[in-house]
Chain A
Amino acid sequence: MAVSTLYTPQALNSTCSISTPAKSHVGFHQKQLVFYRRTSKRVGGGGGSAVITCSAGDSQTVVIGLAADSGCGKSTFMRRLTSVFGGAAEPPKGGNPDSNTLISDMTTVICLDDYHSLDRTGRKEKGVTALDPRANDFDLMYEQVKALKSGVAVDKPIYNHVTGLLDPPELIKPPKILVIEGLHPMFDDRVRDLLDFSIYLDISNEVKFAWKIQRDMAERGHSLESIKASIEARKPDFDAYIDPQKQYADAVIEVLPTQLIPDDNEGKVLRVRLIMKEGVENFSPVYLFDEGSTISWIPCGRKLTCSYPGIKFHYGPDTYFGNEVSILEMDGQFDRLDELIYVESHLSNISTKFYGEVTQQMLKHADFPGSNNGTGLFQTIVGLKIRDLYEQLTSSKAAAPLEARKA
């Protein structure tokens, strides 16, 4: 145990609780530092001195899993999520410039591609795609996520997407919220048990094709055929290893082509479904008007005028892979601010801290893709739900020391 004087408590990353010296945390694997503060401004009613126990390992690291195809830490979802908690997420300063990790004040986003056991050449030799579990080291993934969850820093390998090689590891310190994003967050059941919340981003084939065309057509060498061939070749592995993770997710964001425009193949107007599992601890699904009933809602009418193709909502209970779920669905686009605020005011259980928070978050990132449709809306709402889940989890864990403080 190290005892030293503390002048700037803000420097600590882990949360501190004031406790009596006799209290001990038995049975946890954690690093404990005891700081003795000489001058105190606001020490729980006491006079000049108090003992502050700062344990990085109070298991207050909340772990979120996000399953998404091709995209790591730089994706829009991650940026929205980290923005809900405040601050922009940046790659670690002074480290490998090709690192996939993003760090902000509260969150650290880890890309699961870093746990590839085979680099690009290795996979080519064995004839194995990155989607195949044989290309990933799930044992290491489990060990390191477990370590971070219990407050121990780890040396995580780096998979360099530019060179296709495995670079020397970087140090990752346990954050308040750890997000693991990649192809297989829910594949291994040990890792799945460590997750406090899991999300699966399910893009339908038509929308995937349209998005990849937009992304790749400007690239030299790519043609419609090559893009199609690339999707087709990866499909068997995707269906076998990635898609089944859907059934384990607490929330699935499904992106489909719109039903408002017949024969639309541009993928600009989207139908997005937020499938929320019932009975998940600390997570209450979003609903429209009356929880548990089936609602069909077109907000455009007398109070709100929308431009073509308009907006259509649907909400109702359903079953999804044998689980009870609630589905909130939005088809169409937002064109104006007042459409967004109108819709927000009619949604319930969105875990906002003030009226208009969803709209504010969407406006903050109006340049992100999906900011005018259900993808942005539901990603923002899921971000708020995760914040709510984090606050519930940390307040329940702090409840015990709080009692000691009051006593």
Chain B
Amino acid sequence: MATLSGVNFVTPRFVVADAPGFGKGGPVKVLCLNRPWKRVSQLESKGLKGIRPVRAVPDSISEKVEKSIKDAQETCSDDPVSGECAAAWDEVEELSAAASHAKDKKKDDDPLENYCKENPETDECRTYDN
């Protein structure tokens, strides 16, 4: 269900301990899952205002790239020839490369191809050469 894709309560990233009424990272009651808008407001009322949804890896790399560019521009405005400035832009380069690799990987990710790589003998994966 598309509505479920946004929030995952089981990941350790969320500080669940603060919220009263929630167990230690336990799953949310099924009732709440069908009405995410209501659930978000419930969360806010219970003090979990800071939760952001966990996004797929490529997005977080993109965010890292964006953040690193801002950091580099700040560091270099203080001292453009320092080692810190070079290190900051080097980080930008590394993250940009990682982002483009992740993008390529995502492009290549065909679920059927991946399945057939592991199980070439199944019916779906049979190939006929003649």
B61 sits at the interface (CB 8 A): yes
Q: Which of B57, B86, B97, B98 has the most CB of A within 10 A?
A: B86
Q: Which of B19-27, B40-48, B68-76 contacts A (4 or more CB under 8 A)?
A: B68-76
| B86/A219 in contact, CB under 8 A | no
B18 sits at the interface (CB 8 A): no
Report chain A residues within 8 Å CB of B98: 161-162
Distance (whole angstroms) from the CB of A72 to the closest CB of chain B: 9
| A70/B65 in contact, CB under 8 A | no
| A127/B86 in contact, CB under 8 A | yes
Report chain B residues within 8 Å CB of A233: 72, 76, 85-86, 88-90
| A229/B57 in contact, CB under 8 A | no
| B82/A229 in contact, CB under 8 A | no
| B87/A129 in contact, CB under 8 A | yes
B85-107 CB contact bits vs A (8 Å, 1 = yes)? 11111111110111111101000
| B89/A70 in contact, CB under 8 A | no
A215 sits at the interface (CB 8 A): yes
Q: A70-B93, A221-B66, A229-B76 are in contact. Are A124 and B87 (CB under 8 A)?
A: yes
A window 107-121: CB within 8 A of B: 120
| A161/B94 in contact, CB under 8 A | yes
| A70/B97 in contact, CB under 8 A | yes
Q: A226-B69, A229-B72, A229-B76 are in contact. Are A216 and B96 (CB under 8 A)?
A: yes
| B96/A219 in contact, CB under 8 A | yes
* Cα distance A222–B104 in the bound complex, in angstroms: 18
Report chain A residues within 8 Å CB of B57: 162
Please list 13 pairs of residues, one from A and one from B, whose beta carbons are closer than 8 Å in the complex, sorted by A's number.
A120-B91, A123-B87, A126-B87, A127-B82, A127-B87, A129-B87, A212-B96, A222-B65, A229-B73, A229-B89, A233-B90, A234-B90, A234-B93
A74-B104, A123-B91, A229-B76 given; 18 more Cβ-contact pairs under 8 Å: A71-B97, A120-B91, A123-B87, A127-B82, A127-B84, A128-B83, A129-B87, A161-B101, A162-B57, A162-B98, A215-B96, A219-B100, A222-B65, A229-B89, A230-B93, A232-B89, A234-B86, A236-B86
Q: What are the nearest 7 A-B pairs in CB distance?
A: A127-B83, A221-B66, A233-B89, A129-B90, A127-B84, A230-B89, A221-B69
Interface of A with B (CB < 8 Å)?
70-71, 74, 120, 123-124, 126-131, 161-162, 164, 212, 215-216, 219-222, 226, 229-230, 232-234, 236-237
